[in-house]
Amino acid sequence: MITDTLMLVEHNPVITVGRRTDASHLLTTKEYLASKGVALHTTERGGEATYHGPGQAVCYLIADMAVVNHDVRQFIWNLEEAVIRVLSRDYDLQSGRAPEHRGVWIDDKKIAAVGVAFKHGVSMHGIALNVNVDMTPFSYIVPCGIPDRGVTSLREVRGAPAVMTDVFSSLAAAIKEVFVYE
């Protein structure tokens, strides 16, 4: 057994579909995606279709659920809270939660998606914050199965790119704080 581990990564272009993805939420073919350099993978995480790519800060917290007293909702809330704190503290942006949808929102646009799974009391997957990511591939899907809301990025909201290493450092610090790691 390993101790709780945080992995912060940027992925090559990929659309992932979670356990709840409706086939109609993929708006194109696997062949078209391949022609655009975007892979397609099915995952065990919850949630629906989303895009991951360069310029997106993906956080995988692999943790024993005891860290949140085995409360899945608290775990997801904590991931969202870490992103909300980063956006507020480091970028002076107001963001929050939408009562009917998971993730982190700025107005009616999602800036961070959450998709988690748990196996044997250990979390898998995590949260993805759109930083400087190319937003075009989101048009190939119904992001997170939500047809009436958009997606945005830190670069889009600020009008300027953010330094990815700074975002990763801020996310790591916020996750440590929210989950009360020493």
Active site residues: 144
Q: Is 59 helix (H, G, I), strand (E, B) or coil?
A: strand
Contact 11, 56 (CB under 8 A): yes
- Outline where DSSP puts E strands in 107-153: 109-119, 122-130, 150-151
Q: Helices 164-178 & 72-91, crossing angle to 10 degrees?
A: 130
Contact 122, 75 (CB under 8 A): no
